[in-house]
Structure 1
């Protein structure tokens, strides 16, 4: 082999080695850079619901019924209804709101929202939401003892006379006094009698609603 050929061969080998070294160095750098940017991702923790004692924040994933307003269109157990009016009721330091609802078939129901104190010192306050459905009373007057309704025995729970203030369309005066008598059956069913003083008694069964049963479809225009 001539001297010229050996020189050319040596230069070719050197060039290949240089290119291979540069490629390996680039590959190591890319791996290093990729490792530096891939940080471990912490698992996403679901946000905790706010305490019910804070108005407007019963939970991050369901509507607080205390924020309902007259004129709102809402969803109750999957059915759209309109909030026609509200009764703001006060009795012996307790306060609650009774919302008058109308569904697409123009049926009327009432929704009661009240913050209840715990039964004992270790039990925190809780939000009670009840959906009321009228039942025919046929002139019945709530007894101070137990009574029978639809073959079910109900026992006295609470009764009294509360002051109320009307907002929107409630079918009741702007202000007045409201007599009520609440009963509970042994199976937990609730029955309530109400009357504006000077008017006849009406009665309704109550259905407790769990959180998430109410949603906002559209807010009333301010």
Structure 2
């Protein structure tokens, strides 16, 4: 064998040895890495802070009047129509509180305005201010059913019912204190229907009209 062939063969063997060494070194490093991954503790869970709830009033008090500041004797406008606040019923049921104001718009057809801070529909949703204008509907001796009922040809489905305590202020036509039964319903198109009965009286019913922010103006107190 010539000297050149010996040199070439030697270089080839050396290259193979180096490649094998690098391969085994890589394998050892991979095994060490896998062992470290297997024995290392799991990464700590980072607690993401919950989003801070938005004030239930939103821009109430700056962009428009806060309905929660309405008082008995106030003169207010609802969609531009003037009314006098004759009285108020402060109602409480299982930790939830709301106020119902009796309004006289001069037509002798009194209306109730309810103001309530309600929780969000889904977990984590901020509370919101719900303002409803109620218009009486003839019940003709009807009583609230525990299942679907039909009022003026519309199907309403029960959403809530119970008994609440109330305290009256001003002229409401009800005692200073007492208990109030209620049963709330909703139609497929979103319309609301509510039955109420102060203990010792007959059931009355009313449809609700949600009022958007800015619908109420407090003229005088």
TM-score class normalised by the smaller sequence? 0.7 to 0.9
CA drift of 1:199 comes to 0.8
CA drift of 1:52 comes to 4.1
Match in the other structure for 1:198: 200
Task: Say whether the 8 Å CA contact 1:161–1:179 is kept in structure 2.
Answer: yes
In the alignment of these two chains, the number of paired residues is 168
Structure 2: unaligned runs, 5 residues or longer: 1-53
Tell me if 1:53 matches 2:62.
no
Return the alpha-carbon distance in structure 2 between the equivalents of residues 185 and 194 of structure 1. Answer: 18
Task: Say whether the 8 Å CA contact 2:56–2:126 is kept in structure 1.
Answer: no
* Counterpart secondary structure, 1:110: strand
CA drift of 1:198 comes to 1.4
Match in the other structure for 1:124: 126
Return the alpha-carbon distance in structure 2 between the equivalents of residues 77 and 89 of structure 1. Answer: 25
Match in the other structure for 2:214: 212
Return the alpha-carbon distance in structure 2 between the equivalents of residues 75 and 170 of structure 1. Answer: 19
Match in the other structure for 2:117: 115
Return the alpha-carbon distance in structure 1 between the equivalents of residues 109 and 199 of structure 2. Answer: 24
* Counterpart secondary structure, 1:156: strand
Return the alpha-carbon distance in structure 1 between the equivalents of residues 73 and 141 of structure 2. Answer: 33
Q: 1:207 to 1:54 in 2, by over 3 A?
A: closer
Return the alpha-carbon distance in structure 1 between the equivalents of residues 55 and 211 of structure 2. Answer: 15
CA drift of 1:54 comes to 5.7
Return the alpha-carbon distance in structure 2 between the equivalents of residues 185 and 170 of structure 1. Answer: 28
Return the alpha-carbon distance in structure 1 between the equivalents of residues 199 and 108 of structure 2. Answer: 27
CA-to-aligned-CA distance 1:126-150 (integer Å, 9 cap, x gap)? 0000000000000000000000001
When the two structures are superposed, what TM-score results if normalisation uses the length of structure 2? 0.74
CA drift of 1:91 comes to 0.2
Match in the other structure for 1:84: 86
After TM superposition, list the pairs within 5 Å mapping 1:1-222 onto structure 2.
52-53=55-56, 58-219=60-221
Return the alpha-carbon distance in structure 2 between the equivalents of residues 217 and 113 of structure 1. Answer: 18
When the two structures are superposed, what TM-score results if normalisation uses the length of structure 1? 0.73
Q: 1:52 to 1:101 in 2, by over 3 A?
A: farther
CA drift of 1:119 comes to 1.5
CA drift of 1:106 comes to 2.6
Task: Say whether the 8 Å CA contact 1:112–1:129 is kept in structure 2.
Answer: yes
* Counterpart secondary structure, 1:96: strand
CA drift of 1:104 comes to 2.3
Task: Say whether the 8 Å CA contact 2:87–2:101 is kept in structure 1.
Answer: yes
> What is the CA RMSD across the aligned residues, in angstroms?
1.3
